[in-house]
C-alpha cells in the first residue's frame, strides 16, 4: 500500500496544477473529498494572493463549509445557473476517463454540478488510475422509502448482467444508515470488475428507488494525475487526443 504522505504529495501536485485552470470571474464547481479539499485550500490561497473574484458552487455541505471558511464565495448552483468548470476528485478513472465516484457519498450532487459545467476536470493520484472500473465499490444512492425493495431490484439488474455480487447497505453512522446530504441511503456494490459500465449505468438508472449511481461516464474531459515529486501527467480521453 502506498504511504499516505506520498499520496498526499501527489494529490497536492494535481490540486496545484488545477488551480492554474481557474480564471478570474469564472463560475466554478468545487468537488468533495480529500483531493478536492486540497484543491479548495490551494484555490483559496491563490484567490487571496491575486485578489480576483469567482463564483463557486459546492458539491456537498462539507465543501461549502470548507470553502466558505477560507473566504471563497459559495452560492447555490441555481443562483449561478451554469458553470464554466468543475474540479473534483475520483475514486477510480479508466483510460476513457470514465469514473467511479461517491466514496464520500457525494456523487449525486457531484454529478449534478459536473454535468452543469462546460468542463469537468478530475484531480487524482496515480493509485486511482485503473484499466477497468470496478475494484472500488460502486456507490448507489437510494431513497430510504422501500430501500429493501430497491435493493432487490438492483440485485436483479446485476443478475441480468451476470454480475453475481450483492448490494450492501454498509455505511453506518451512530448505528444507523449513513444519510447523504440529500437524506438518502447508499448501497455499495463490490463488483471487482465492470465489463460494460454503460450497460450497468442504464440498468441502475431505470430502477425507481435509485436516485443516482457513482458511474460518471463521458463527463470528465481531462484528468490531472499528480506525482509525489510535484509533477503532473495530464490524461485526455482517447477520442479527444
> Which residues contribute to the site for ligand R5P (CB under 6 A)?
31-36, 88-91, 101-107, 110
Inter-residue contact 55 to 27 (CB < 8 Å): yes
Q: Is 114 annotated as a binding residue?
A: no
Residue 128 marked in a binding site: yes
Which residue, 39 or 153, is less far from ligand R5P as judged by CB?
A: 39
> Which of 92, 110, 141, 203 is the catalytic position?
110
Q: Which residue is it, cell 470571474?
A: 25
Whole-angstrom CA distances from 194 to 105, 131, 162, 168 are: 20, 11, 11, 17
76 catalytic, yes or no? no
Nearer to ligand R5P, 43 or 153 (CB): 43
C-beta of 122: minimal distance to ligand R5P in Å?
8
Q: Shortest Cβ distance from residue 10 to ligand R5P (Å)?
A: 11
Tell me the closest approach of the beta carbon of residue 12 to ligand R5P, in angstroms.
Answer: 12
d(CA 37, CA 2): 20
Q: State the burial class of residue 193 (Cβ atoms within 10 Å of its Cβ: 0-12, 13-18, 19+).
A: exposed
Strand pairing partners for 30?
A: 58, 87
Q: Is 230 annotated as a binding residue?
A: no
Q: Show which residues are catalytic.
A: 110
Provide the annotated binding site for substrate.
32-35, 88-91, 101-104, 128
Amino acid at each position: 500500500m502506498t504511504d499516505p504522505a506520498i499520496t498526499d504529495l501527489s494529490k497536492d501536485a494535481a490540486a496545484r496544477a488545477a488551480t492554474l485552470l481557474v480564471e478570474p470571474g469564472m463560475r466554478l464547481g468545487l468537488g468533495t473529498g480529500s483531493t478536492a479539499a486540497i484543491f479548495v485550500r490551494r484555490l483559496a490561497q491563490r484567490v487571496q494572493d491575486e485578489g480576483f473574484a469567482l463564483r463557486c458552487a459546492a458539491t456537498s455541505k462539507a465543501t461549502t463549509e470548507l470553502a466558505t471558511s477560507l473566504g471563497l464565495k459559495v452560492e447555490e448552483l441555481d443562483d449561478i445557473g451554469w458553470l464554466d468548470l468543475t474540479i473534483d476528485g475520483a475514486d477510480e478513472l479508466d483510460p476513457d476517463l470514465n469514473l467511479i465516484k461517491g466514496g464520500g457519498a457525494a456523487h449525486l450532487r457531484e454529478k449534478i454540478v459536473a454535468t452543469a459545467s462546460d468542463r469537468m476536470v478530475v484531480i487524482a493520484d496515480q493509485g486511482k488510475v485503473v484499466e477497468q472500473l470496478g475494484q472500488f465499490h460502486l456507490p448507489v444512492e437510494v431513497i430510504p422509502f422501500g430501500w429493501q425493495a430497491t435493493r432487490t431490484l438492483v440485485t436483479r439488474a446485476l443478475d441480468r448482467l451476470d454480475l453475481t455480487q450483492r448490494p450492501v447497505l454498509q455505511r453506518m453512522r451512530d448505528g444507523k444508515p449513513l444519510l447523504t446530504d440529500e437524506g438518502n441511503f447508499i448501497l455499495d456494490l463490490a463488483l471487482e470488475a465492470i465489463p460494460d459500465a454503460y450497460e450497468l449505468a442504464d440498468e441502475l438508472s431505470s430502477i425507481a428507488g435509485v436516485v443516482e449511481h457513482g458511474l460518471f461516464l463521458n463527463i470528465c474531459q481531462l484528468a490531472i494525475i499528480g506525482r509525489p515529486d510535484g509533477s503532473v501527467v495530464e490524461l485526455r480521453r482517447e477520442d479527444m487526443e
